[in-house]
């Protein structure tokens, strides 16, 4: 494949002209190394829309296979997380910690339970999520615990710096949207770590570093992937909650599919 970009050069008469780059492009190149012209990678293989459509088209055929697992996950991990959010204020009233701290301590131990499916066998479409696989994958709980811990610490730091939490000082209101942007940015660039810790067998911290380096050119597409995940789960909730039986496993499939796209372009090397 040849690059169709333009490069600036000077002809024999000293006049600046632009000519076709025509450099050989690697199959998984995102930009031309010679002229910097973007390839069509972000609109094809790394496109959030394309990955979402491919995920849904394959998933909808076998979605019923995921129902037992969806029910199990809803009645265990997700139910525990919801209960934790409701009782955190009551616990805070009984111990010398505020509600924010109690909530995050509870989430630190419970959120990894909802992330365990990412540690299951590769390719969710070929190996549908099952309850037995879930219990086998629990050995990866410590890695997801650490990912959750790093995320909570980062969010707590933002709360301190952007909302004045624990500082007892007045913070400029402009920092509140800044905090929201940074939270979304973290979730956007770090979500592939959920699969990296298992698929590449790396530590949680190294997975976060790899995600940061890999997202240099794809962060907007990764953000759109998260929007698709949010979209399908909102639809699941609006469908009287029954739609979550479809949207929850579909979310795992969408995220895994995009992880494979990033890996195919060797962005984690």
- Nearest CA among 269, 263, 254, 234 for reference residue 49: 254
Q: Which two tokens stand for residue 64?
A: 């019923």
Taking only the tens place, the pLDDT of each residue in 81-122 is 999 999 998 888 888 889 999 999 999 999 999 999 999 987
For residue 8, what pLDDT is reported? 73
- What's the pTM value of the predicted model, to 2 decimals? 0.91
Per-residue pLDDT band at 264 (split at 50, 70, 90) = very high
Categorize the per-residue pLDDT at 259 as very low, low, confident or very high, splitting at 50, 70 and 90. very high
Q: Which pLDDT band holds residue 19 (cuts at 50, 70, 90)?
A: confident
CB neighbours of residue 19 within 10 Å: 10
pLDDT tens sequence across 155-214: 999 999 998 888 888 888 899 999 999 999 999 999 999 999 999 999 999 999 999 999
**Domain residue spans of the chain:** 1-39, 40-264
Phi, psi of 19 (to 5 degrees): -130, 160
Our measurement of the distance from residue 98's CA atom to the centroid of its chain's CA atoms, rounded to an integer in Å, reads 29
């Amino acid at each position: 494949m040849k690059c169709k970009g333009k490069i600036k050069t000077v002809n024999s008469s000293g006049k600046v002209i632009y000519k076709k780059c025509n450099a050989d492009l690697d199959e998984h190149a995102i930009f031309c190394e010679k002229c910097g012209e973007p390839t069509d990678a972000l609109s094809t293989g790394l496109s959030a829309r394309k990955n979402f459509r491919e995920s849904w088209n394959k998933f909808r055929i076998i979605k019923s296979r995921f129902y037992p697992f969806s029910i199990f996950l809803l009645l265990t991990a997700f139910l525990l997380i919801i209960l934790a959010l409701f009782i955190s204020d009551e616990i805070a009233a009984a111990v010398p910690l505020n509600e924010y701290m109690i909530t995050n301590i509870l989430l630190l131990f419970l959120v990894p339970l909802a992330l365990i499916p990412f540690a299951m066998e590769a390719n969710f479409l070929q190996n549908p999520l099952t309850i037995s696989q879930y219990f086998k994958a629990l050995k990866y709980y410590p890695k997801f615990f650490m990912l959750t811990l790093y995320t909570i610490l980062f969010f707590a730091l933002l709360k301190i710096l952007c909302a004045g939490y624990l500082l007892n000082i007045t913070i400029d209101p402009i920092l509140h949207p800044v905090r929201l942007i940074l939270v979304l940015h973290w979730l956007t660039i770090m979500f592939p770590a959920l699969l990296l810790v298992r698929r590449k067998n790396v530590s949680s911290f190294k997975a976060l570093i790899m995600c940061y380096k890999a997202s240099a050119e794809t962060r907007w597409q990764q953000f759109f992937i998260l929007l698709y995940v949010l979209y399908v789960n909102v639809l699941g909730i609006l469908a009287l909650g029954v739609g979550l039986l479809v949207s929850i496993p579909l979310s795992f499939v969408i995220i895994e599919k995009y992880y494979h796209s990033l890996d195919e372009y060797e962005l984690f090397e």
